[in-house]
Amino acid sequence: MIPFLDLERVNAPYMQRIEEAAIRVLRSGRYILGNEVDEFEKSFAAYCEAGYCIGTANGLDALTLILKAFAFPEKSEVIVPANTYIATVLPLSFLGLTPVFVEPEEVTMLLNPELIEDKITPSTKAIITADLYGRSCEMARILELANDYNLKVITDAAQAHGAAYFGKKTGSMAHATAFSFYPTKNLGALGDAGAVVTSDKELAQKIRYLRNYGSALRYQNEYKGMNSRLDEIQAAFLHVKLPYLDKENKRRRQMASRYLTEIQVKNLVLPPTDRIQEDAWHLFVVRHPDRTALIAFLEANGIQTDVHYPLPVHKQEAYKEYKSLKLPVTEKMHQEVLSLPLNPVLTEEELTYIIQTVNRFDA
């Protein structure tokens, strides 16, 4: 059986250094916002070609902190992609902001920039782009729109560590970018972790306070802040793994290239091939009208797949107030998408087997 993702194998090459890092931190007596977080923040900001990085407890909190820092008035509207993981949208609800769902572009499945302008009203304050599957959204067009309408651009890059857009690193383009280091991500911690990346100094400072009870100095609270800190021990793990992210992403690109050139099945839609080298290939998402049959066929042949995601945000019980909203492109995608295994520890043999098996599917 080829598992969709085997985290033990993914972390194995780093395990010795991860264990050493754990022991160093445990023995240091310093567990909250110390040197390990500082150093990782500096390295990750540099990696993203951005000014500042602020470690957070997770990716959802990173988005929440960005939105809290912008302090848009309640009921402000924020453009969000209809095709995304629910965590892109939840922070808006916490802060009394209104998500305005925009359909994806057919080929990339990402926020369709051509549909944004129609949705902008005097209450719109920001656009959230979600770089789903590891691919950057169409930032040129989106930043232009944001500029024209004086909107903030926030990128949810939970799935796109190390991606780029025409030479610009993810994290260097939006006003602020949220990363998740959930264990399954391209850069994954060994527990929950996240970060905000921005080049706006004041915003960075405010988020730094907001993640720590709103406190600038000990026991003095300037803002009504959260508690959302990156743990020292997780920062140390991330610091061990960061230097290998580019190498791992390169491996992901090679695998994606093989999939893209070698898979050929009737009715199976592959992801676009135009930006293979800048995509971080967190997931390799194909589409098929009879997804259920394809999953069963692959499973029967020892290949585990996954679905990202089966149910769109506006169809979740949590968002039942949007139940009657019609977003046909998004809805169709959620019925057809299927993720094939793609991660840096798959062997060429496994890859060949997956490709051959997929190519045998006939439905």
Ligand X SMILES: Cc1ncc(COP(=O)(O)O)c(/C=N/[C@@H]2[C@@H](O)[C@@H](OP(=O)(O)OP(=O)(O)OC[C@H]3O[C@@H](n4cc(C)c(=O)[nH]c4=O)C[C@@H]3O)O[C@H](C)[C@H]2O)c1O
What is the rounded CA–CA span in Å between residue 249 and residue 242? 11
DSSP 121-157: -TTEEEEEEE-GGG----HHHHHHHHHHHT-EEEEE-
> What residues have CB less than 8 Å from 340, skipping those under 6 apart?
259, 284, 286, 303, 305, 354, 358
214 binds ligand X (CB under 6 A): no
Nearer to a copy of itself, 210 or 268 (CB): 210
Q: How many residues does the chain have?
A: 363
Among the listed residues 45, 50, 55, 58, the single contact to ligand X using CB under 6 A: 58
94 binds ligand X (CB under 6 A): no
Chain-centre distance of CA 199, in angstroms?
19
Strand, coil or helix: what is 11?
Answer: helix
Chain-centre distance of CA 106, in angstroms?
19
182 binds ligand X (CB under 6 A): yes
The stretch near ligand X (CB under 6 A) out of 82-90, 105-113, 242-250, 355-363 is 82-90
Catalytic residue among 152, 169, 185, 241: 185
Task: Name which of residues 31 to 50 contact ligand X (CB under 6 A).
Answer: 31-32
CA angle centred on 346, ends 343 and 348, rounded to 5°:
130
194 binds ligand X (CB under 6 A): yes
Size of interface with a copy of itself, in residues (CB under 8 A): 59
Could you report how far apart the first and last alpha carbons of the chain are, in Å? 23
Q: At what angle do helices 35-47 and 232-241 cross, to 10 degrees?
A: 40
189 binds a copy of itself (CB under 8 A): yes
Is the CB of residue 355 less than 8 Å from the CB of residue 337? no
Nearer to ligand X, 26 or 293 (CB): 26
Establish whether 42 is a catalytic residue.
no
304 binds a copy of itself (CB under 8 A): no
- Select from a copy of itself, ligand X, none the partner in contact with residue 159, using the beta carbon and a kind-dependent cut-off of 5 to 8 Å: ligand X
Token readout for 331 is: 């809805």
- Select from a copy of itself, ligand X, none the partner in contact with residue 84, using the beta carbon and a kind-dependent cut-off of 5 to 8 Å: ligand X
Binding residues (CB under 6 A) for ligand X: these are 5, 7, 29-32, 58-60, 84-85, 87-88, 130, 156, 158-159, 180, 182-184, 194, 218, 227
Active site residues: 185
Footprint on this chain of a copy of itself (rule: CB under 8 A): 6-8, 11, 15, 18-19, 22-23, 25-32, 57-61, 86-87, 90, 93-94, 96, 182-183, 189-192, 213-214, 219-229, 231-234, 307, 309-311, 316-319
